[in-house]
Amino acid sequence: MSQVLIICGGTGGHLTPGIAIAEELTVRGHRCSLIVSRKKVDARLIQKYPSMEFIDAPGAPFSWSPLTLVKFAWVQFTAFVFALKLLSKKRPDLVVGFGGFLTAGIAIPAYLKGIPFALHEANRVVGRSNRFLSRFARKVFLPDGVIVDGLPQAKVSYSGLPLRKEFVAISKETARELLEIEPASKLLVVFGGSQGASSLNSWAEKNASAFAERGVSLYCLTGLNKALPEEISNKTADHGTVKSWFVPFSDNMPAVLSAGDVVISRAGAGSIGEIIRCQVPSILIPYPFARDDHQTANAEYVVEKNAARMLKDSQLEFLYDLVVELLFDESTNLKMRKRLRSLDCPQEAIKLVDALEAMMPGTVNQSIQNNFTARRT
């Protein structure tokens, strides 16, 4: 079978779909190597997959700042040399990239060596690096309805975000037991993506006591290296002691999201995909400094489907009332869960790997031969 390099490091939104397609490719007998960054978020998550091969690669984000630009140029040069050695060693039949600063350093050398390259973009605004890389890709996978100017339609396939096999919704009771928490009558989950969100963390800490008075506990994922108390206890007249938790990182996001009655989240494509899978009503707060403002486009798409609410990061003074409304309006809560269910695509990893296999030399012919043999027997 084929050898596949999957470039997916840098953020959880790249790494988790990379793992998802590696799982499906491996089931089908292909060999996979996942190229990740040297960030802590990558190092933490990959510990859950000891049977997979992860290779950390050099990479740095682009910036027009003189010092950062010099660093970017140097790291890209080292990444190019690294890639040539890696490609000679692994001899992949296919390279798959999920964008970000790691992809270019390996995808372009692969293109120069004639190795098929596929590019996946999960956001509803295609980033600058992926617009550039799309010219080297044989196939570009985009969200439904997204268009890249100048990209030949023959190159485009429409695809959602593949999620890991383990990412399934579970009951609230089971989820809370797995997290070892006993919330009050309601649980609000605050989630700033794999990096955390300082503004959401501060808002959660500031409003924990007000929510406690309503019998609402908070479970806030703060992000690594964010200094916040691990647990806050508030004594209330009507609900006794109400606890809230501030956790740097969780590698069990299905439990975290399934445990919540409502979630407040950034609007990265990965976060939204996970919210949809767990069918939890959400208020999306796009990261205001995201390149090309792609998180706003992601959030607007879900809001247009009546499956989420949205506020700007500059409007957090209105967030408390919006959360209370969504927490205690059971009719709206239920309708939103049904709309989220209609947006879920649980077979996305299978469909994506079907398309990737069609790009691998000899794989299609082998599949035809296997089907022919099966029919004859």
CA distance 69 to 62: 7
**Domains within the chain, CATH numbers bracketed:** 3-160+346-363 (3.40.50.2000), 172-343 (3.40.50.2000)
Sequence-ordered alpha helix ranges (H) in 155-304:
172-178, 198-213, 253-259, 269-278, 294-304
Give me the pLDDT at residue 151, please: 93
Tell me the C-alpha distance between 247 and 295, whole Å.
24
pLDDT 10s digits, 216-243:
999 999 987 666 768 899 999 899 999 9
pLDDT digits (tens, 9 = 90+) for 275-313: 999 999 999 999 998 888 999 999 999 999 999 999 999
Tens digits of residue pLDDT in 201-212: 999 999 999 999
Mean pLDDT, all residues of the chain: 89
Mean pLDDT of 75-89: 89
Phi, psi of 17 (to 5 degrees): -70, -30
**Residue 194: pLDDT over 80:** no
State yes or no: pLDDT of 370 exceeds 50.
Answer: no
Name the token pair of 325: 């409304």
Confidence class of residue 61 from pLDDT cuts 50, 70 and 90?
Answer: low
What number is the average pLDDT over the span 315-337? 96
pLDDT per residue as tens digits for the range 247-265: 988 889 999 999 999 999 9
CA distance 240 to 235: 6
Answer for the pair 33, 6: CB distance below 8 angstroms, yes or no: yes
* pTM of this prediction exceeds 0.85: yes
What is the separation, in whole angstroms, between the first and last Cα of the chain?
23
Q: The tokens 């309503």 sit on which residue?
A: 214
Q: What is the pLDDT, as a whole number, of residue 43?
A: 83
Q: How many CA atoms lie within 13 A of 286 on its CB side?
A: 24
- Least confident range of 11-20, 61-70, 286-295: 61-70
Residue at 78: amino acid letter:
T
Q: Are 116 and 94 in contact (CB under 8 A)?
A: yes
pLDDT tens-digit map of 155-188: 999 999 999 999 999 999 999 999 999 998 899 9
Kindly indicate the confidence band of residue 373, based on its pLDDT and cuts at 50, 70 and 90: very low
pLDDT of residue 63: 66
For residue 56, what are the β-bridge partners? 36
**For residue 40, what pLDDT band results from cuts at 50, 70 and 90?**
confident
Asked if 285 contacts 311 with a C-beta cutoff of 8 angstroms, the reply is yes
Task: Give burial (CB, 10 Å; 0-12/13-18/19+) of 251.
Answer: exposed
Question: Residues of 342-355 as b/e, b for ≥16 C-beta within 10 angstroms?
Answer: ebbbeebbebbbee
